[in-house]
Structure 1
Amino acid sequence: MRPTGRSGMGNLLSMLALAVSFAAAANPASAQYPTKPIRIIVPFAAGGTTDILSRAVGAKLAAVLGQPVIADNRPGASGVIGSEIVAKASPDGYTIGMLISTHAVNPFVIKSLPYDTINDFTPITLVAIVPGILSANASLPVRSVQEMVQLVRSKPGQFNYGLPGSMTSGHLSMELLKVIAGLDMVAVPYKGGAPAAADLAAGQVQFMINSPPTVLPFVKAGRVRALAVTGAKRSPGLPELPTIRESGFPDYETYEWYGLFAPARTPKEIVARLGQEIARILKDPELRELMLVQGAELVGNSPEEFGQFVRAEMDKWGALARRINLRVD
């Protein structure tokens, strides 16, 4: 029987109120979120770009949510230690992680991870991308990517390049360039970008791909020559530098990227709330200026878009790892 008149309207309102109360009762924590401090796991040491970005975003997120947001540094094992903490945390939105591009590489180069890279995490948003800079020692007769390629091809195995840490973005970016451009070069490993850049400036190595803050001081001093950036488009902070794509390799594109993840099974309402708030925060001019100094371009996409991005990164680096047998010893 269809409800009629005032009693019908009253019944309808009662049913609606009951439905709302059931929805609230079904997920009361999501409705009230957040009610206590939020922890951002940083899988790397204090002072680096991941740490700086996590603290800057966390401070602004705390102001919006009305709860403290604390950066918790858990470095080690190429980010695996911190990532495992995120994967095994309670899926309630109070522990999230600022993971980086190694997250998409580790499944292919580390024999057994203590988590599943896809199934144990919920993407929230891509926070930032940092294109690397392909650089050469200033004494070399090269001023472009094409000149570098011609020089290296003319003397196979006689030029070397610095690796700013195993499986770092700089390492993988150079390995990808070697494959795409057909280059035979000798790798010289370093325990970080700073010593690698110093040896590039001193002429101990001839080429390198490294982060902008690490290499630009030597470029400004005239000891290193910047040839190109690794991203799909020119960097806002370095508009005069062409991309490697522009230089004759249209399929080339790499970044160091930084993104926020929650544990799997975190309620969609919480993930959506965090994603929306962080996307707004990433438009803040003060934050954009701060991160531009680090060479970072802020993004802020949807959880679905970020998930697709991570899968594409895994496809790319997985193919490279299989092709050249990349492994962590």
Structure 2
Amino acid sequence: MIRPTRRLVLGAAAAVLAAPAVRAQGSAIRIVVPFAPGGSTDAVARLVTPGLTQRLGVPVVVENRGGAAGSIGTDVVAKARPDGQTWLLTFDSHATLAALIPQLPFNPDRDLDPVMLIGGAPYVLASKPDKPFRNIQDVVDRAKAQPDGVSFGSTGNGTIGHLTMVLLQGKTNTRLTHLPYRSGGLAVNDTVAGHVDMMIGSAAVVNPHVQGGTLRTFAQFGPERLAGLSGMPTVSEAGFQGLEAEAWWGVFAPHGTPQDAVARMNAALKESLSDAQVRRTMEETQQARLVMSDPATLGTFVQREVAKWGAVVRENNIRAD
């Protein structure tokens, strides 16, 4: 057995004192993704963690805590110690939580501090190539001929994709069957398998399967045509006004997290996302429009999203799964 000598003990103590940042931050920083693995939020989180680990000097790990439209994982972060150890990387459904879940165990505005709006990607409708949909009018026509006979998947009740389809049904006086999933990845799997007629999801989560030929997109809900779908009109161009919808990813911290920690995370995220390979993956594979905002911009953006989509939730009496 090797016995510690006075020199070894003193050397170990010196090493601890020489690394205050690592000791202060603990063994790892966790990024909570409030959805199951496989969706675009999970993909974005795992894409940036290697760069964050390098730039922050400590391991950064992704923790998936899915369920209840993202509120379970978000609650974990809202109640976490504001010590820079725990962060939330979430999706657009964050803006609907307060309206969607009346007894929400936290206040999204009060209990979380904004860090960065990473960026967004337009929502698209996609189906197996052998499904009879070539444009959004095909969906409307079939739904009118077969009320409740056309199904669509989304990442859950009250998500922006689901709410967009609620608006579509209201504008066209149609009824579709909604199948909510816990993540975009699960919705994609069942759409590829043909268990659901189509799905609405971000271009980020759908694009790899479009590139692989297992899905075909036939409608895009962005304000302008996506570069990769330049030949496909937006829903507004197709005559369906008021249905613009973009997915987005944002990073938040427990309220009270020191501003210097927030600034460090914001800077590390920006540097990681600016890496040539990461940026290319975000823009080409994930079909994302990068923003990489400051904290205040995310705060203002979320307030607008809460007002817009919260109204849709309340007017249609929608509740979480």
TM-score with structure 2 setting the length:
0.78
Total equivalences in the alignment: 293
> What is residue 252 of structure 1 aligned with on the other side?
243
1:272 paired to 2:263: yes
> What is residue 311 of structure 2 aligned with on the other side?
319
> What is residue 197 of structure 1 aligned with on the other side?
191
Query: Which amino acid letter does the alignment assign opposite residue 162 of structure 1?
Result: F
> What is residue 174 of structure 2 aligned with on the other side?
184
> What is residue 19 of structure 1 aligned with on the other side?
none
Query: Which amino acid letter does the alignment assign opposite residue 150 of structure 2?
Result: N
> What is residue 289 of structure 2 aligned with on the other side?
297
Q: 1:157 aligns with which of 141, 147, 151?
A: 147
Mapped partners of 2:230, 2:40: distance in 1? 21
Q: Secondary structure at the match of 1:282?
A: helix
Q: Secondary structure at the match of 2:61?
A: strand
Of 314-323 and 163-172, deviating more is 163-172
Mapped partners of 2:286, 2:53: distance in 1? 22
- C-alpha spacing 1:239/1:306, structure 2 compared with 1 (3 Å): same
1:40 paired to 2:20: no
Mapped partners of 1:248, 1:299: distance in 2? 29
Mapped partners of 1:73, 1:154: distance in 2? 39
Larger RCO (alpha carbons 8 Å, 6+ apart): 2
After TM superposition, give the deviation of residue 250 of structure 1 in Å: 4.7
Q: Secondary structure at the match of 2:110?
A: coil
**5+ unaligned residues in a row in structure 1: which ranges?**
1-31
Q: Secondary structure at the match of 1:260?
A: strand
- C-alpha spacing 1:115/1:218, structure 2 compared with 1 (3 Å): closer
Of 222-231 and 281-290, deviating more is 222-231
Q: Is the 8 A contact 1:86 1:262 kept in 2?
A: yes
Mapped partners of 1:169, 1:65: distance in 2? 33
Q: Secondary structure at the match of 2:274?
A: coil
Q: Is the 8 A contact 2:95 2:305 kept in 1?
A: yes
> What is residue 16 of structure 2 aligned with on the other side?
none
Q: Is the 8 A contact 1:152 1:183 kept in 2?
A: no
After TM superposition, give the deviation of residue 165 of structure 1 in Å: 4.1
Query: Which amino acid letter does the alignment assign opposite residue 80 of structure 1?
Result: S
1:110 paired to 2:101: yes
Q: Is the 8 A contact 2:207 2:285 kept in 1?
A: no
Residue pairs, 1:83-98, within 5 angstroms: 83-98=74-89
After TM superposition, give the deviation of residue 108 of structure 1 in Å: 1.4
After TM superposition, give the deviation of residue 153 of structure 1 in Å: 7.9
Q: Secondary structure at the match of 1:242?
A: coil
1:70 paired to 2:45: no
- C-alpha spacing 1:140/1:96, structure 2 compared with 1 (3 Å): closer
Mapped partners of 1:82, 1:154: distance in 2? 38
Q: Is the 8 A contact 1:174 1:208 kept in 2?
A: no
Q: Is the 8 A contact 1:177 1:252 kept in 2?
A: yes
Query: Which amino acid letter does the alignment assign opposite residue 117 of structure 1?
Result: P
Query: Which amino acid letter does the alignment assign opposite residue 193 of structure 1?
Result: A
> What is residue 225 of structure 2 aligned with on the other side?
234
After TM superposition, give the deviation of residue 33 of structure 1 in Å: 6.0
- C-alpha spacing 1:220/1:275, structure 2 compared with 1 (3 Å): closer
CA deviation digits over 1:207-235, x for unaligned, max 9?
A: 54234466557766878653222222322
- C-alpha spacing 1:237/1:39, structure 2 compared with 1 (3 Å): same
CA deviation digits over 1:114-151, x for unaligned, max 9?
A: 100110000100123232212467667764335654x2
- C-alpha spacing 1:255/1:89, structure 2 compared with 1 (3 Å): same
Percent identity of paired positions between Structure 1 and Structure 2: 36
Q: Secondary structure at the match of 1:131?
A: strand
> What is residue 61 of structure 1 aligned with on the other side?
52
Q: Is the 8 A contact 2:207 2:287 kept in 1?
A: no
